[in-house]
Amino acid sequence: MRIKVKYIIVTIVLLSFGAIIYGFTLKEEKPQLANKFIGFGTVGLFLIAMPMFLIKESKGKKMKDYMLTDENIKKMRGQDKKKSENQ
């Protein structure tokens, strides 16, 4: 019984947003506790959920295709020339 990573990521994101919203509702009554909820929600989003999502989505992709190298620059310039000739 394997839990899919997608559902874990969605759960973390929802819990993080919930913690942030709850923190803002507590802001007037208990500011220290509210700041903790807001902080933990932010940590959950940016230090847990986002890296998990990026790792999941980047599996099987070549990083070289997304880097700005001389070869890729030449490909982009070649495509721009072809587009301008066709118009």
Residue 71 lies in a domain: no
CA dihedral sign of residues 62, 68, 71, 73: positive
Q: Is 23 contained in some domain?
A: yes
Cβ–Cβ under 8 Å, residues 43 and 87: no
pTM score, two decimals?
A: 0.68
Domain membership flag for residue 66: no
d(CA 13, CA 34): 18
Structural domain contains residue 25: yes
| In a domain? residue 77 | no
Report if residue 52 sits inside a domain. yes
Domain assignment present for 76: no
- For the segment 8-25, the average pLDDT, to the nearest whole number, is 95
Task: Assess if residue 86 is contained within a domain.
Answer: no
Tell me, what's the pLDDT at 40?
Answer: 96
Residues 26-84 have pLDDT tens digits of 988 999 999 999 999 999 999 999 999 988 888 888 877 778 888 888 888 886 555 55
Specify burial of residue 60 (Cβ count, 10 A radius: 0-12, 13-18, 19+). Answer: exposed
Task: Give the chain's domain count.
Answer: 1
